[in-house]
Structure 1
Amino acid sequence: MRLFIYGTLLDQSLRDAVAGEGGQLVDAVLPGYAVRPLAGSVVPIVQADAQATAQGKLWDGINADQAARLALYEGIYDYRLIDVTVTLADGTAAAAQMWVPPQDAGLGDGSWSLAHWQTHYAKASVLAAQELFAMDPLPSLSDLAWQFPMMQKRAWGQVQASQTAAPGSLRHSPGAGDVTVTHRKPPVGSFFRLQGFGVEHRRFDGGRQGPLPREVFVGIEAVIVLPYDPVSERLVLVEQLRMGALIRNDPNPWILEPVAGMIDAFEAPETAALRETKEEAGLDVTLRKVSGCYPSPGNATDFFHCYVGLTDIPDTDHWSGGLAAEHEDLRLHVVTLDRALELVASGEMNVAPGVMLIYWLALHRAALRVEFSGGIAS
């Protein structure tokens, strides 16, 4: 197989993660096409444009296994192969194939830069591809339609974690070799995944321990937003059936909690927080960051970005919310902060991030009342 590549596959680390090593690459251009940003995405599309020339590489010598892996990866995005004729550096023409997006793919603003993508998004893209192609057997395209976005979210979370400040004024500040992960097993699960591994680490007495067999739930980055009106001192709680409580055998698995949702791959936490609050509660809010925290670091990688969402809450007791496309069945309750504290005390509010945010509001209610005594600016 001979392929003209023009976008993220020009990055060797991603190319190797998707197809493995092999084949030969030479500079090539494709007259009559332009590489442009894809709307709502960090990857590019190629579009017919008689006045443009797409820059890329001709990838020759792709074997059958590589071609199959490429077809699976490109198929996630509904890309298809077309025949093209490219021009090599010496001016000769060469027949090739090229993956192109669906005809209804939207065009984004500005231009697309490989260097920008490599700086900001390549690491997560490579991690997601590595997770995909470590699966045995490989999933079908229909399964990947809902599995791969989760792989991307997990990868994005890992990259964000590696770039987060990690103060060590009280706790141990690790040095090279203080902890080592060994014997990673293939993760199991389809939507959520469980990872087995070994760990060896430095002890507080200066000795070494391990390798010890361990397992963790490989989760995602999420946003938690508690909408709050500092003028009326009311807040919004979301009620929904939660599977964790159900399978734990809780007699009442309908849970009261703040707005909550996963951070999409390549999305900033603040963007996700505003999006989720609009989707679940129909509210526009001003975010006040409370904490970034692990809810259960002993057994899960989940990390929560927790906010209070300052807003003018409607004069109603409850309403429905959520997205039908995501099968969300939500009931939203408006309660006073005092009532919320009663729910915490009784155990009816039993979601840890919600409890934390309610207590934060109790601690800061007076200051917020003064700060917004003139109302909340829209």
Structure 2
Amino acid sequence: MIFLYGPLRHLPLAETLLAEALPGAQEAVLPGYALLQSEGYPALQPDPQAAVEGLLLEPGPAALARLEAYLEGLDLSPAQAVLRLPDGSEREAALWSRPPSGPGAQPFSRAQWLADDAPRALREAAELAGHAPPLEPALQRRQAVMRSGRAEAGLRAARETAPATCRLSPPAGAFALGHAEPLTGGFFKYDRMVAAHRRFDGGREEGLLREVFVGVDAALVLPWDRARDRVLLVEQFRTGPARRGDPNPWCLEPVAGIVDPGEEPAEAARREALEEARLTLTGLELMFHSYASPGNSTDHYYCYLGHADLPDDDSYSGGLAEEAEDLRLHVLPLDEAVALIGTGEINVTPTIAMLLWLQRHRDTAAG
């Protein structure tokens, strides 16, 4: 028997993670412990006056193996404990735990977790359960930030408005997605899917095999010095053009980076400007947000104009050494940068779109 407490006490989360229905799960209590907030997963703290509520269940072998890998990936250790059931009887079961990370930890609030974190946790659990081969604990830890970022990207997409003055305003059931194969990949994910959607002639397309590159949302910033009408561009080696066979895979781009879990896109934009270009922005203005390649990728870019006092140097180095960033930063007049679009030297679509946006709006851009 297994005792699940904290977030995994939420039955939909446990069933999603284990990829198995758990109709036999029953309520149980672990006496003599309190549940405290802790990094990664709530911690059990001995407390003779407290008790921790949870679920007692008996998963099948495949579900148990998945659960053990997940809990080991959170650095939890197995132990045996005696539980109290609602009828007053006792039952011994296995649980996974670790001590609190430090003094002053606050009690774990299930209500707060359900309100703030459950939707993201359910998406993360679905990714883990759908992965093949199943991820070893070390890989689960290594991919945790990106997994959480993908979950938050999906929630962010669901919250945003979807204007439809020209395009279709889809009714309920206008499209559906399923998995043709288990999820694969590392830092990014590859999803082979079966799609169905409504046709413009009123019919329905079924059984479409589609392959999707699953990334995370990113924040892009074009730093601009209004007083001198100069912009900053980042030059770096890119494997995409190199893999395609481009003889010059060094690209000119905006400052850019992923939106970290728990971060808003605007916060990511300011952080990346400081990390990549050592710029503290004096203002930030959303240009637009858009999909980079909607036919085969989830990548969604939040593109900002960053107001800044740019350095006098025409070029200087930037980036974080710990992230192996080898960046050369160029400061040049806006019109000169736009001219590089025509020569083909700027060949990255977000850079082109953001420069043209600024060229159009520079007289009215907020400072």
Offset of 1:361 from its aligned partner? 1.6
Counterpart contact for 2:181–2:192, Cα < 8 Å? yes
Please list the CA deviations of residues 84-109 of structure 1 after superposition, one character each: whole Å capped at 9, or x if unmatched: 55555577766554433476x46898
Q: How does 1:120-269 map to 2 (within 5 A)?
A: 120-182=116-178, 184-269=180-265
Please list the CA deviations of residues 304-362 of structure 1 after superposition, one character each: whole Å capped at 9, or x if unmatched: 11111212223333332222332222222222222222222222222111111111222
Stretch moving more, 50-59 or 63-72: 50-59
Aligned partner letter, 2:234: V
Task: Give the 3-state SS of the residue equivalent to 1:251 in structure 2.
Answer: coil
Task: Give the 3-state SS of the residue equivalent to 1:366 in structure 2.
Answer: coil
Instruction: List alignment gaps of at least 5 residues for structure 2.
Output: none
Aligned partner letter, 2:113: W
CA distance in 1, matches of 2:173, 2:276: 44
Aligned partner letter, 1:361: L
- Which residue of structure 2 lines up, in the alignment, with residue 10 of structure 1? 9
Counterpart contact for 2:224–2:306, Cα < 8 Å? yes
CA distance in 2, matches of 1:123, 1:162: 11
CA distance in 1, matches of 2:2, 2:204: 52
2:311 aligned to which of 314, 321, 332: 314
Aligned partner letter, 1:327: A
CA distance in 1, matches of 2:237, 2:48: 55
1:48 aligned to which of 30, 45, 49: 45
Q: Percent identity?
A: 38
CA distance in 2, matches of 1:288, 1:302: 21
1:76 has 2:68 as partner:
no
2:298 aligned to which of 301, 308, 311: 301
Counterpart contact for 1:235–1:336, Cα < 8 Å? yes
2:330 aligned to which of 322, 328, 333: 333
Rate the CA distance shift 1:18–1:188 in 2: closer, same or farther, 3 A: closer
Rate the CA distance shift 1:24–1:179 in 2: closer, same or farther, 3 A: closer
1:33 has 2:34 as partner:
yes
CA distance in 2, matches of 1:364, 1:107: 53
- Which residue of structure 2 lines up, in the alignment, with residue 376 of structure 1? none
Aligned partner letter, 2:361: H
Counterpart contact for 1:29–1:87, Cα < 8 Å? yes
Counterpart contact for 1:181–1:198, Cα < 8 Å? yes
Q: How many residues get paired?
A: 364
Offset of 1:236 from its aligned partner? 1.8
Q: How does 1:77-92 map to 2 (within 5 A)?
A: 77-84=74-81
Counterpart contact for 1:202–1:209, Cα < 8 Å? yes
Aligned partner letter, 1:100: S
CA distance in 2, matches of 1:150, 1:58: 29
Task: Give the 3-state SS of the residue equivalent to 1:209 in structure 2.
Answer: strand
Rate the CA distance shift 1:200–1:357 in 2: closer, same or farther, 3 A: same
TM-score (norm 2): 0.87
CA distance in 1, matches of 2:211, 2:154: 17
CA distance in 2, matches of 1:27, 1:34: 14
Please list the CA deviations of residues 113-167 of structure 1 after superposition, one character each: whole Å capped at 9, or x if unmatched: 3233323332332222222222333122233333343333222222222222111
Aligned partner letter, 1:21: A
CA distance in 2, matches of 1:107, 1:331: 44
1:272 aligned to which of 245, 268, 272: 268
CA distance in 2, matches of 1:187, 1:235: 40
Aligned partner letter, 1:191: F
Offset of 1:112 from its aligned partner? 4.4
Instruction: List alignment gaps of at least 5 residues for structure 1.
Output: 373-378
Please list the CA deviations of residues 184-212 of structure 1 after superposition, one character each: whole Å capped at 9, or x if unmatched: 33233333233222333222222333333
